[in-house]
């Protein structure tokens, strides 16, 4: 292993992917997760072409493909079942990997050396100094590292260490989520297709996961409630059915096959002014949470992971401040554009009075503008690292001086 030691707080998709990318580049890494084990989240996640490029480089794409749902079609339709003219999924179907989130996290964790992921470690205090970072955990355990990466999600405890606290912002939308076994009556014809139905004020999405053993459902509806950003808040199947009364019979057939559902509040976060100090940085939702309407939450965390690993490869301790700020500069505008695109896509999915052909045209234009099928985070980072060594990146405004001692939870 190389000289650097990196600590990651959070064992979600972004934290685990970053750990793998760093380990592959010879950097010693440990992941600290406050939960006692990886939780069984009944939710799907789709890895698209931009994320798939990273996993191919890490040698994991074949393993991912084995547990992914197998798609032959991706469709956009109106609420009453008419094809959305001109709608085109941004990725080749064969480069779209719909996954069960818990299975995916387990696969990523298994790609790391035993002991890399350390459960039951809840971050309580962080002390940053010229020699690195000390992390104190609830219960008295401590760790030191040269770099601390906050990958602890939209409610990050690390985020306030690097910039003014930024609270999640509701989109005024919630989602019902659920998983249906493949042998359940009425859904067998949906197990090779990702389908989105668009209607006034709401939308409905299905895709297969678990190698076709389950169908994942996400139904977006308006809400004026402060629904917790969670995959485990119980929902009401009868209320879900009532919300889609009169929709395409395929939508109603899927809902009829559901026994349970969960509610998920839809939030993102306004762009941060910056997300790095000299020794601490952020990744994924802790830095730039986005709404799910482009399927880019996980994929942006994967892009972050590849970028950060390349920036830290072969770095010595003295290089860390410049490398972290270069990482931030490479990612911050990209993430801002994706956040805006996701918000715009959600509004288009639920638009009223917009002709379907125009609706599809504008959705496809977002995909193209963000280069979701072609963006190569590793190439972008490698090109940046090849710039002259005396390059000093512009520091984002609003970054405070590195904290000396900060309590982040508990005492």
The edge-to-edge listing of strands for the beta sheet with 214-222 is 73-78, 193-199, 202-209, 214-222, 169-181, 262-268, 233-234
Whether 18 shows a pLDDT value over 80: the answer reads yes
Residue 135 has pLDDT above 60, yes or no: yes
The gap from C-alpha 394 to its chain's centroid, in whole angstroms, comes to: 27
- Chain center to CA of 392: 29
Q: What is the DSSP secondary-structure string of 16-44? A: HHHHHHHHHTT-EEEEEESSSS------E
237, 360 contact by CB (below 8 A) = no
Q: Which of 248, 285, 257 is nearest to 83 (CA)?
A: 248
E strand or H helix at 368, and its extent?
helix 356-369
**Averaged pLDDT, 352-358:** 90
Catalytic residue among 207, 244, 267, 375: 207
pLDDT tens digit sequence for 278-311: 999 999 999 999 999 999 999 999 999 999 999 9
The tens digit of pLDDT for each residue in 2-15 reads 489 999 999 999 99
The tens digit of pLDDT for each residue in 85-117 reads 988 887 788 889 999 999 999 999 999 999 999
Contacts of residue 365, Cβ cutoff 8 Å, sequence gap at least 6? none
Of the pLDDT bands very low, low, confident and very high (cuts 50, 70, 90), residue 406 is very low
Catalytic (active site) residue 176: no
Task: Work out whether the CA dihedral 168, 174, 175, 176 comes out positive or negative.
Answer: positive
Question: Where do we find the tokens 């072969």?
Answer: 314
Two tokens at 40?
A: 């069984």
Q: What CATH superfamily is the domain 5-168+269-407?
A: FAD/NAD(P)-binding domain (3.50.50.60)
Q: Which candidate, 256, 249, 248, 340, places its Cα nearest to that of 294?
A: 340
């Amino acid at each position: 292993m190389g000289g650097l030691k990196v600590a990651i707080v959070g064992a979600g998709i972004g934290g685990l992917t970053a750990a793998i990318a760093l380990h592959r580049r010879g950097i010693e890494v440990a992941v600290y997760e406050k939960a006692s084990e990886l939780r069984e989240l009944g939710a799907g996640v789709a890895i698209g072409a931009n994320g798939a490029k990273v996993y191919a480089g890490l040698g994991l794409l074949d393993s991912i493909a084995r547990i992914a749902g197998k798609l032959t079609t991706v469709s956009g339709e109106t609420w009453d079942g008419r094809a959305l003219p001109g709608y085109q999924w941004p990725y080749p179907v064969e480069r779209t990997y719909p996954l069960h989130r818990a299975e995916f996290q387990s696969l990523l964790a298994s790609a790391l050396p035993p002991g890399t992921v350390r459960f039951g470690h809840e971050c309580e205090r962080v002390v940053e100094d010229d020699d690195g970072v000390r992390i104190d955990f609830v219960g008295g355990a401590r760790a030191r590292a040269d770099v601390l990466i906050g990958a602890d999600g939209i409610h990050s405890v690390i985020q306030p260490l690097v910039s003014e606290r930024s609270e999640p912002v509701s989109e005024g939308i919630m989602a019902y989520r659920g998983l249906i076994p493949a042998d359940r009556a009425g859904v067998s014809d949906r197990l090779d297709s990702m389908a989105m139905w668009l209607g006034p004020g709401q939308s409905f999405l299905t895709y297969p996961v678990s190698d076709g053993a389950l169908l994942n459902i996400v139904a977006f509806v308006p809400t004026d409630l402060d629904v917790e950003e969670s995959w485990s808040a119980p929902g009401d199947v009868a209320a879900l059915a009532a919300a889609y009364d009169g929709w395409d019979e395929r939508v109603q057939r899927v809902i009829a096959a559901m026994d349970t559902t969960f509610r998920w509040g839809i939030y993102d976060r306004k762009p941060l002014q910056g997300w790095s100090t000299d020794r601490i940085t952020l990744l994924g939702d802790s830095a730039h949470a986005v709404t799910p309407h482009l399927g880019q939450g996980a994929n942006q965390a994967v892009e972050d992971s590849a970028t950060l690993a390349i920036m830290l490869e072969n770095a010595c301790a003295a290089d860390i401040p410049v490398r972290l700020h270069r990482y931030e500069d490479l990612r911050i505008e990209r993430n801002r554009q994706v956040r805006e695109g996701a918000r715009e896509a959600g509004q288009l999915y639920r638009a009223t009075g917009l002709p379907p052909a125009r609706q599809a045209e504008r959705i496809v234009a977002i995909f193209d503008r963000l280069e979701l099928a072609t963006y190569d985070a590793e190439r972008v980072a490698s090109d940046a690292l090849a710039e002259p060594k005396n390059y000093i990146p512009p520091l984002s405004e609003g970054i405070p001086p590195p904290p000396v001692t900060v309590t982040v939870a508990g005492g």
